[in-house]
């Protein structure tokens, strides 16, 4: 599957999984009331630690991918400058238009790398909480 379609699918799944997980956890907190069980307290603690972990992993992945995209853009700029200097204006004109597609691909890659950890955690929580819910 192309990266753009995979990114679109992941964002759609995330937009469906996140509210479902929030609803299940909220219902569990309401049901627990003032006296949560040990399992309820573990789930509430897990809720916070998972979010922190997923978002930090997401930001780190996006920063690394963005740094790579900037290095690619810089190397392309250097190629354009050297080509214009040595090969002349005709070669220069063909290189100037090339970055547009590369820029879109880089932006999609940054988004995909940031979405992956959030998607993984949210869908795993949905599967886990759905299983727990049906057992009761």
Residue 80 buriedness (CB in 10 A; 0-12 / 13-18 / 19+):
middle
User: Closest Cα partner for 117 from 43, 63, 40, 39?
Assistant: 63
> Half-sphere exposure of residue 10, counting CA atoms within 13 Å on the CB side?
22
Angle at 51 between CA 47 and CA 53, to 5 degrees: 120
Which residues are within 8 A (CB) of 8 and not within 5 positions of it... i.e. 6 or more apart?
A: none
Compute CA 14 distance to the chain's CA centroid, rounded to the nearest angstrom.
10
Angle at 103 between CA 71 and CA 83, to 5 degrees: 65
pLDDT in tens, 37-60: 999 999 999 999 999 999 999 999
Q: Is the pLDDT higher at 128 or at 94? A: 128
Output the six-digit token pair for 39. 């399992």
Domain regions of the chain by residue span: 3-135
Distance between start and end Cα atoms, the chain: 38
Q: Is residue 113 a contact partner of residue 60, using CB atoms and an 8 Å limit? A: no
Q: Is residue 106 a contact partner of residue 7, using CB atoms and an 8 Å limit? A: no
Output the six-digit token pair for 118. 């959030």
Q: What is the pTM of this model?
A: 0.76
pLDDT in tens, 58-79: 999 999 999 999 998 888 778 7
pLDDT in tens, 102-117: 788 888 899 999 999 9
């Amino acid at each position: 599957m192309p990266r753009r379609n995979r990114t679109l699918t992941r964002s759609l799944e995330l937009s469906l999984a996140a509210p479902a997980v929030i609803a299940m956890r909220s219902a569990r907190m309401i049901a627990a009331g003032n006296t949560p069980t040990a399992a309820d307290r573990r789930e509430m603690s897990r809720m916070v630690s998972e979010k922190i972990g997923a978002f930090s992993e997401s930001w780190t992945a996006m920063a690394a991918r963005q740094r790579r995209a900037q290095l690619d853009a810089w190397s392309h700029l250097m190629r354009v400058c050297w080509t214009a200097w040595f090969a002349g204006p005709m070669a220069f004109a063909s290189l100037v238009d090339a970055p547009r597609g590369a820029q879109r691909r880089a932006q999609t890659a940054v988004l995909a790398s940031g979405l992956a950890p959030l998607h993984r955690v949210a869908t795993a929580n949905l599967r886990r909480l759905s299983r727990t819910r049906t057992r009761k």
